[in-house]
Homo-oligomer: A and B are copies of this chain.
Amino acid sequence: MLIVKKFGGTSVADAERIFNVANRLIEAYKEGHKIVVVLSAQGDTTDDLIEKANEINPNASKREMDMLLSTGEQQSVALMAMAIRKLGYPAISLNAYQCDIYSTSTYGNARIKNISTERISEELEKNNIVIITGFQGINRSGDITTLGRGGSDTSAVALAAVLNADLCEIYTDVDGVYTADPRVVKNAKKLSEISYDEMLELASLGAKVLHNRSVELAKKYNVNLVVRSSLTREEGTIVKEESNVEKMLVNGVAVDKDISRIAIVGLQDQPGIAFNVFSLLARNKISVDIILQSIGREDTKDISFTVATSDLKDALKVIEENKNRLKYEKLLHETKVAKVSIVGGGMATNSGVASTMFEALYDENINIRMISTSEIKISVLVGEDDAERAANAVHEKFRLDQINNTQNH
């Protein structure tokens, strides 16, 4: 088998951990597999480099930031190659340039466009364990780009796709995908399988196991993806086209506290007003999540919506700058809110799910401020202080602690 394995920064933080990973890689290598490894920068390296840059120029150009940050991954891969060779096995490190990981030019948030497999295949032919820098690419000018948050996951999945790998294993500090965040919901249970779509909903809902972009890519190229722990030998969670898990109504509960609510109050009631607001935000690259439009007083409308808290400042600024054009009375915002969501493939065909969720929250006396639904998820906005209680109540109501993992592997 050709296996792509990705390890995050915590897994390679020091010499001891590097050897732990090296041993795991050698184990798989000795079983006769061809191994491609994708690594992030060691521990706090990236943060330290960002701090160094901020000391010099807090508004450093993104091109130079990428030039700086990409050194972290390059150090990791070189050290890993040294460790594997120390243990007596052949290994070689490659950076984005050396395996032609071409990306778009958007420094700091580039997307992989194509990868040439020539060098990697050549090194695999030589029986090397091939260790590749995650998180980075090169653009058409040959300059270094980075792929943004979760970039190394994306690197791994993209490599698995172009190499036609039999398996892509993402090693993290959790041992799989759970029905809820185990730190929030005590009875959360690990899923043996989940579908790409459910994983996408969970990821976008704030379950920080896999980055969305990597799951999208895995779905697009049908990559056999597994999330598992770098610390234990537990079998992880398989992410695939069709989940073999019993068609549960609900597969998981997710909580996202990094959101804020914005309310534009007293908008003049004229055609296209919602379009004006949201096209303005889209042009400024601000993603809007739950939207609620309601009738205000005296022929006006109110529009509320949620954004990532990191976008809040920009969103407010853009709206204020366009006050004359948008014509509204007041602009309000609130950061002490959280989104609690349930996800499940069986939800679409069962109308009782939403009401069951609302009942659970009602029983706990939790106020729902906004609601949003898709085919496979329902999200509600609640006060931040209610979030954990809400997640537990919903988890229990849907008996997710009794979920039946019909494993077939």
Contacts and interface: CB of A to CB of B under 8 A. Distances in A.
Give the interface centre of A59, A63, A67, A68 by most chain B CB atoms within 10 Å: A67
Contact of A57 (B49, B82, B143): B82
Contacts of A15: 52, 55-56
B75 A71 contact: yes
Interface in A149-169: none
A346 to B, nearest CB: 49
A347 B93 CA distance: 53
A200 interface: no
A78 B15 CA distance: 27
A49 to B, nearest CB: 7
Contacts of A59: 86
Task: Give the copy number.
Answer: 2
A67 B142 CA distance: 18
Given A67-B93, A68-B75, A71-B74, A82 B98 contact: no
Contact of A61 (B63, B85, B97): B85
A78 B93 contact: no
A77 interface: yes
A396 interface: no
A159 to B, nearest CB: 18
A97 B85 CA distance: 26
Given A64-B85, A68-B78, A71-B74, 16 more contacts: A15-B56, A19-B56, A52-B75, A53-B78, A53-B82, A56-B82, A59-B86, A60-B82, A64-B78, A64-B82, A67-B77, A67-B93, A68-B79, A71-B71, A97-B97, A98-B143
Pairs A-B, 7 closest by C-beta atoms: A71-B71, A68-B78, A57-B86, A67-B78, A57-B82, A60-B82, A15-B55
Interface of A: 15, 18-19, 49, 52-53, 55-57, 59-61, 63-65, 67-68, 70-72, 74-75, 77-79, 81-83, 85-86, 92-93, 95, 97-98, 119, 142-143
15 contacts: A19-B56, A49-B75, A52-B79, A56-B83, A56-B86, A60-B82, A64-B85, A64-B93, A67-B74, A67-B78, A67-B81, A67-B93, A68-B75, A97-B142, A98-B142
